[in-house]
């Protein structure tokens, strides 16, 4: 067997960012199809923890299994990840660290964790203004610049989903250059494509600079986040943030990552149990309660059918009804 030359846990002569491509190109087409995404996931995780795959022991593999469980990748993905680690070690002429008893117990627990989370999905309630102002109060006003990057990103994302009546898939791929801040304090967001944009024409939506009761505005908070993350024009606004709080500008946040962050933050911040769809539901409900017409709401949220009616919910007793955070809609 041809042995890879290994140096400090990495393949000598090939950069850690290039190795996955080189290795995959040398495998059979079927292997690339079945394991390509898993391989890149494993190699990226190695970069994030700062320890090359060939330096791994049972502990690092266990950490990989826990990460897969947290991101709800599924049991099949977990099995493939274990197989990928073995492939790499075999290529290097070494025995893979995937067969220990401790690791078997970790895998079993990880599978249980994934199954429990599947059985308890986040409730599809609508975000309301009280939720939004609580997020702003605790992250933007109290923590300020000291807030971890993941919290700043979480807040900016929730505000855009709520005020724009958008799906997560509409906005997670927007670039910095897709945002424009106007002199009147408002901001516009260009969305290249959406679920209902069959011709991929793209669309622009506007968020006003109106201020909440606590004095904050959505455009100001988004600018605050962008200043902290320091991204180039071509970078993803909602970039992947690793375990060390570093942003990877060429990778946008996935649904699994955003969902995991939401589950964590709503506990830490004392929020109601909401989902990534709650902003869209809540924004539509607040707009309807504020007197915005059904046709205008459909246009803003990109609804083409009566499905919009299932998103408009009655507001709870005592909730403030306001147009301040809902863009001015034109039929």
Structure confidence at residue 34 (pLDDT): 67
Q: Give the model confidence (pLDDT) of 56-77 as tens digits.
A: 888 888 888 888 887 777 788 8
For the cut 70, the answer to whether the pLDDT of residue 161 exceeds it is yes
Contacts of 24 (CB under 8 A, 6+ apart): 32, 36, 39
pLDDT band at 26 (very low <50, low <70, confident <90, very high): low
Q: Give the model confidence (pLDDT) of 238-277 as tens digits.
A: 999 988 888 999 999 998 889 989 988 988 888 888 888 8
What is the spatial distance between Cα 51 and Cα 143, in angstroms, rounded to a whole number?
32
Q: What are the structural domains, with CATH classification, of the chain?
A: 6-119 (1.10.150.130), 129-310 (1.10.443.10)
The pTM score is 0.60
What is the spatial distance between Cα 215 and Cα 217, in angstroms, rounded to a whole number?
7
What is the spatial distance between Cα 153 and Cα 231, in angstroms, rounded to a whole number?
13
Q: What is the mean pLDDT of the chain?
A: 78
What's the chain's length in residues?
331
């Amino acid at each position: 067997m041809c042995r890879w030359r290994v140096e400090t846990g990495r393949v000598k002569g090939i950069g850690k960012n290039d190795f996955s491509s080189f290795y995959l190109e040398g495998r059979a087409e079927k292997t690339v199809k079945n394991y390509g995404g898993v391989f890149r996931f494993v190699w990226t995780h190695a970069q994030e923890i700062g320890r090359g795959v060939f330096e791994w022991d049972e502990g690092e593999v266990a950490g990989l299994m826990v990460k897969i469980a947290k991101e709800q990748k599924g049991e099949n993905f977990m099995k493939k990840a274990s197989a990928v680690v073995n492939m790499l070690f075999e290529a290097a002429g070494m025995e893979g660290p995937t067969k220990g008893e401790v690791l078997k117990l970790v895998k079993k627990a990880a599978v249980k964790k994934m199954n429990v989370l599947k059985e308890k999905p986040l409730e599809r309630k609508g975000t309301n203004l009280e939720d939004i102002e609580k997020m702003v109060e605790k992250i933007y006003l109290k923590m300020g610049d000291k807030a971890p990057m993941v919290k700043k990103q979480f807040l900016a994302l929730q505000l855009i989903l709520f005020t724009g009546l958008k799906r997560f898939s509409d906005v997670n791929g927007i670039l910095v250059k897709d945002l424009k801040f106007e002199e009147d304090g408002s901001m516009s967001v260009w969305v290249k494509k959406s679920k209902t944009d069959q011709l991929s024409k793209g669309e622009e939506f506007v968020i006003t600079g109106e201020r909440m009761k606590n004095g904050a505005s959505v455009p100001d908070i988004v600018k605050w986040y962008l200043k902290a993350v320091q991204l180039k024009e071509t970078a993803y606004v909602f970039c992947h943030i690793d375990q060390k709080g570093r942003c990877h500008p060429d990778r946008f946040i996935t649904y699994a990552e955003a969902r995991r962050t939401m589950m964590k933050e709503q506990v830490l911040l004392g929020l109601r149990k909401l989902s990534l769809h709650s902003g869209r539901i809540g924004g539509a409900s607040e707009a309807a309660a504020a007197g915005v017409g059904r046709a205008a709401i459909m246009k803003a949220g990109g609804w083409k059918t009566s499905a919009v009616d299932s998103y408009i919910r009655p507001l709870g007793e005592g909730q403030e009804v306001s147009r301040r955070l809902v863009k001015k809609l034109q039929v």
